[in-house]
Amino acid sequence: MILLCGLRRKKIRGRYLGIRYCRRCGRFQHFYLMRFNKQLTLFFVPVFWWTEMTWVGCGICNQGFQIDQKEAKRLDECYVSFPNEEKGRRIYEFCVDHAWNQENCPKNWDRLFEQVKERFALNGFDDDFKKLIRNIFAVQEAARCQSKIVD
């Protein structure tokens, strides 16, 4: 009897992590918890697999930054209640619109954060949304203020 076994690598897109700035795409994109699973196959059917690498990656180009298993587990559990892609997009558009608002000028991102929190009834993830808002300001004002984009 011939046993046909092999190894293959499979990319898995996991938990949604919101809209973040992608340096490779040069724009804001949906980000996900990504991982490469190594699979041991028997007659082309996976019989055993393990995680080879995990990273926070852009949904379009897959680029991002690598994280360890512990951090991946933490993010996976933490982001269970995070808004979905549709709500994430609406929050992003709201931020972009209001970032240009005179009341929020110049760079009053704390105030915009409060508006976002109130309008979308967000619980938790304060740091993520503050970072998103800060980066929206940074991108919009990069030419004038040379603001720094934060990963």
* # chain residues binding Zn ion, by CB under 5 A: 6
Closest separation in Å from C-beta 24 to Zn ion: 5
Of 122 and 139, which has the nearer Cβ to Zn ion? 139
User: Taking the alpha carbons of 105, 108, 113, 114 in that order, is the dihedral positive or negative?
Assistant: negative
19 touches Zn ion by CB under 5 A: no
42 touches Zn ion by CB under 5 A: no
22 touches Zn ion by CB under 5 A: yes
- Candidate residues 40, 47, 61, 105; the one interacting with Zn ion per rule CB under 5 A: 61
Closest separation in Å from C-beta 64 to Zn ion: 8
In whole angstroms, how far apart are CA 104 and each of 98, 132, 135? 7, 15, 14
Looking at this protein, which amino acid is placed at residue 77?
Answer: E
Of 33 and 58, which has the nearer Cβ to Zn ion? 58
CA distance 131 to 126: 8
CB atoms within 10 A of CB 116: 20
